[in-house]
């Protein structure tokens, strides 16, 4: 089934005023075969692919979730949305909430303050490669590129696995996995299918929101005879930049404009190619095992072209992009954080991934709840346990350096922020030496940066969003292996904030404490007796079943109107 979302500009008039958009979702097991291989996947309201979230800047989005997975907990993160003032709605289990247990209801509610393309996905025990992910499109009444395009499409890309996540994690987290190999996918999907067409009309211009929902591999994209004009990355507008080829790393988004051809003399193809190489630029013989050809159809009576072939990938360098609002490079940092990434082993010989020789271990108390309940002590990183916590006082300028000591490219994502990418040199440049002479005057901003192998990236942002935010590699298998750090931002503004009742209920149903330090201790907060120091093995503790499926449609309400995504 080809999943193509088309947003007509004529329909946008009804989205100009801020309102409340409500979704009612039952998270279910369903059967799907997007590449011809049938398997159980996690869908919504008895259907898969999962439905999009569509809203306008200023809207409040309410998502009422029912966990109908039978034996699996779950949770949803809204990737790229800042969650300003709604820290508790960010979604990662063990961080801003307890997992949603089977048979439970849970509500996410937040206001959207930034336009662009985003996506949602499970942030619970490596779950989203089993299907629980979908696009988010936020329309902008003040779009600086309004009038330059006629219609809008969404193009998602993702790698796909035939085995379920628990099976893959057993292989990944095995002492025999001595070279830290992640699971490799079985297919590439576009719009959760391998049969994608967009209807084009000669002379029109199309806005395409390209969203990677991958768990491991990046995707190269090129359109035949249509130059991409990149106008946004990860929800940030940029000065228009032409590109013939782009590489979309896991969790990244690109917004591009395509000018249709002036005539309908033929139809055109585009190619998506999955990048499973460690370093495609420097590998001797890079391999691209999965390729999908999509089509721009001008005339249904004319034949589709054959498979599109690209002889060499030479992608645009996103570091050269310039933010459209001309936000200048932030000044001298008040807080400097350096994270050295390498693979490691835990005390049981299980392969892990480490920042500064520490692998992230989920704690007994969700980290945000520790920040809310420990008063002035919440600025002491010790009380948070082994989550690689870093404190950033409110209003401080933070400089975060990632030294990638590995031989592969890795995409790193920060929750709650879009950061300035100050430096991101080529492969084999070594670790950052502290010099800033190469920093651009107006850096690109995004929330997920691809860091080259044996090289580094330097990013900056202002700590103006109080909360507990993860910073992690967005290769999902590396998240499971512990490649995560935690930013405790403006802890002074978090003291005493309340936890919603359904969040509390989810924790109570699983005997998870909601106050105290990482171990749940409230007396001596530096006493971490009982805190977790080694991740549970295997990390995925629950078993899969095939519960009775609850059929239906995903419903979205705007005011008194009801729309359905089937």
406 or 548, greater pLDDT: 406
Check pLDDT > 50 for residue 11. Answer: no
Taking the chain, what is the end-to-end CA distance rounded to the nearest angstrom? 12
Enumerate residues 6+ apart whose C-beta is below 8 A from 342.
353, 354, 357, 405, 406
**pLDDT tens digits, residue range 355-383?**
999 999 999 999 999 999 999 999 999 99
Query: How far apart (Å, rounded) are the C-alpha atoms in residues 176 and 378?
Result: 40
Whole-number pLDDT of residue 538 = 61
Question: Which of 415, 507, 407, 531 shows the shortest CA–CA distance to 97?
Answer: 507
Q: How confident is the model at residue 561 (pLDDT cuts 50, 70, 90)?
A: very low
Looking at the DSSP bridge assignments, the partners of residue 377 are none
Report yes or no on 37 lying in a domain.
Answer: no
DSSP class of 95 = T
Question: Which of 55, 95, 92 shows the shortest CA–CA distance to 77?
Answer: 92
Q: How confident is the model at residue 9 (pLDDT cuts 50, 70, 90)?
A: very low
* Mean pLDDT across 58-68: 98
Check pLDDT > 50 for residue 238. Answer: yes
Whole-number pLDDT of residue 438 = 81
Whole-number pLDDT of residue 14 = 34
Query: How far apart (Å, rounded) are the C-alpha atoms in residues 94 and 549?
Result: 27
DSSP class of 46 = T
Element (H, E) at 505: helix 501-508
* Mean pLDDT across 77-105: 98
Whole-number pLDDT of residue 17 = 61
Looking at the DSSP bridge assignments, the partners of residue 458 are 401, 423
Query: How far apart (Å, rounded) are the C-alpha atoms in residues 167 and 146?
Result: 47
> Is 454:406 a contact under the CB 8 Å cutoff?
yes
DSSP class of 478 = H
Strand extents, DSSP E, 260-321? 268-275, 291-297
Enumerate residues 6+ apart whose C-beta is below 8 A from 478.
182, 353, 410, 472
Whole-number pLDDT of residue 76 = 98
Enumerate residues 6+ apart whose C-beta is below 8 A from 419.
400, 445, 446, 447, 449, 459, 460, 461
Burial (CB count <10 Å: 0-12, 13-18, 19+), residue 304: middle
DSSP class of 74 = B
Per the structure, the complete domain to which residue 418 belongs is given by: 335-508
Whole-number pLDDT of residue 434 = 83
* Mean pLDDT across 342-348: 95
Check pLDDT > 70 for residue 162. Answer: yes
Whole-number pLDDT of residue 78 = 98
Q: How confident is the model at residue 537 (pLDDT cuts 50, 70, 90)?
A: low
Report the mean per-residue pLDDT for the chain. 92
Give me the sign of the Cα torsion angle 55, 61, 64, 68.
positive
Q: Which two tokens stand for residue 85?
A: 């003032």
Report yes or no on 304 lying in a domain.
Answer: no
Report yes or no on 535 lying in a domain.
Answer: no
Residue with tokens 């990236």: 457
Enumerate residues 6+ apart whose C-beta is below 8 A from 483.
341, 353, 354, 355, 359, 360, 472, 473, 475
Whole-number pLDDT of residue 549 = 35
Check pLDDT > 60 for residue 137. Answer: yes
Whole-number pLDDT of residue 552 = 34
**pLDDT tens digits, residue range 139-159?**
999 999 999 999 999 999 999
Report yes or no on 376 lying in a domain.
Answer: yes
**pLDDT tens digits, residue range 430-478?**
999 887 778 999 999 999 999 999 999 999 999 999 999 999 999 999 9
Enumerate residues 6+ apart whose C-beta is below 8 A from 261.
200, 202, 225, 226, 268, 298
Query: How far apart (Å, rounded) are the C-alpha atoms in residues 337 and 434?
Result: 12
Report yes or no on 452 lying in a domain.
Answer: yes
Report yes or no on 138 lying in a domain.
Answer: no
Element (H, E) at 117: strand 116-122
Whole-number pLDDT of residue 435 = 79
Report yes or no on 259 lying in a domain.
Answer: no
Report yes or no on 381 lying in a domain.
Answer: yes
* Mean pLDDT across 483-506: 97
- In the chain, the number of structural domains is 1
For residue 417, the domain's CATH number is: 2.60.40.420
Q: How would you classify the pairing of strands 253-259 and 228-233? A: antiparallel
Check pLDDT > 80 for residue 559. Answer: no
Encode 330-371 in three state secondary structure. Answer: CCCCCEEEEEEEEEEECCCCCEEEEECCECCCCCCCCHHHHH
* Mean pLDDT across 500-521: 97
DSSP class of 504 = H
**pLDDT tens digits, residue range 291-338?**
999 999 999 999 999 999 998 999 999 999 999 999 999 999 999 999
Question: Which of 478, 479, 179, 173 shows the shortest CA–CA distance to 348?
Answer: 173
Check pLDDT > 90 for residue 545. Answer: no
pLDDT cut 90: percent of the chain above it = 89
Lowest mean pLDDT among 45-59, 101-115, 129-143, 540-554: 540-554
């Amino acid at each position: 089934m080809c999943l193509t979302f088309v947003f007509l500009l004529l329909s946008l008039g009804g989205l100009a005023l801020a309102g409340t958009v409500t979704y009612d979702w039952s998270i279910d097991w369903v059967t799907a075969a997007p590449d011809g291989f049938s398997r159980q996947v996690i869908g919504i309201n008895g259907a898969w692919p999962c439905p999009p979230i569509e809203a306008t800047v200023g809207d409040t989005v309410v998502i009422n979730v029912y966990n109908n997975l039978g034996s699996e907990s779950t949770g949803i993160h809204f990737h790229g949305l800042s969650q300003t003032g709604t820290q508790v709605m960010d979604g990662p289990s063990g961080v801003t909430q307890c997992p949603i247990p089977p048979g439970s209801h849970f509500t996410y509610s937040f206001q959207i303050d930034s336009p662009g393309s985003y996506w949602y996905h499970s942030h619970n025990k490596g779950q989203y490669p089993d299907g629980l992910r979908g696009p988010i499109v936020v329309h902008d009444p003040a779009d600086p590129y309004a009038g330059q395009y006629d219609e809008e499409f969404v193009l998602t890309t993702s790698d796909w696995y035939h085995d379920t996540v628990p099976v893959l994690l057993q292989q990944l987290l095995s002492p025999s996995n001595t070279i830290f190999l992640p699971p490799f996918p079985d297919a590439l999907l576009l719009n959760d299918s391998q049969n994608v067409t967009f209807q084009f009309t000669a002379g029109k211009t199309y806005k395409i929101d390209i969203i990677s929902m991958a768990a491991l591999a990046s995707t190269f994209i090129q359109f035949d005879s249509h130059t991409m004009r990149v106008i946004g990355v990860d929800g940030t507008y940029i000065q228009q930049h032409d590109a013939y080829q782009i590489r979309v790393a896991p969790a990244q988004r690109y917004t591009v404009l395509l000018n249709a051809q002036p005539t309908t003399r033929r139809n055109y193809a585009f190619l998506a190619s999955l990048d499973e190489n460690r370093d495609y630029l420097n590998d001797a013989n890079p391999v691209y095992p999965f390729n999908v050809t999509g089509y721009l159809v001008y005339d249904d009576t004319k034949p589709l072209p054959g498979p599109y072939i690209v002889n060499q990938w030479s992608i645009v360098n996103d570091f050269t992009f310039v933010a459209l609002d001309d936000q200048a490079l932030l000044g001298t940092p008040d807080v400097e954080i350096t994270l050295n990434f390498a693979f490691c082993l835990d005390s049981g010989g299980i392969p892990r991934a480490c920042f500064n020789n520490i692998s992230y271990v989920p704690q007994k108390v969700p980290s945000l709840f520790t920040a809310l309940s420990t008063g002035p002590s919440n600025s002491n990183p010790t009380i948070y346990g082994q989550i690689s916590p870093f404190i950033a006082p409110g209003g401080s300028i933070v400089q975060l350096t990632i030294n990638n000591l590995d031989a592969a490219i890795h995409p790193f994502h920060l929750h709650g922020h879009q950061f300035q990418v100050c430096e991101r040199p080529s492969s084999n440049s070594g670790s950052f030496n502290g010099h800033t002479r190469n920093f651009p005057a107006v850096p690109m901003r995004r929330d997920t940066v691809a860091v080259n192998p044996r090289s580094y990236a330097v990013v900056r942002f202002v700590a103006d969003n109080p909360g507990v935010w993860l910073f992690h590699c967005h290769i999902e298998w590396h998240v499971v292996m512990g490649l995560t750090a935690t930013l405790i931002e403006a802890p002074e503004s978090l003291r005493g904030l309340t936890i919603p009742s359904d969040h509390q209920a989810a924790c109570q149903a699983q005997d998870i404490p909601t106050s105290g330090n990482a171990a749940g201790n409230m007396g001596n907060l530096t006493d971490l007796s009982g805190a977790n120091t080694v991740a549970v093995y295997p990390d995925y503790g629950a078993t899969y079943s095939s519960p009775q499926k609850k059929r239906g449609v995903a419903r979205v309400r705007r005011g008194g109107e009801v729309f359905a995504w089937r």
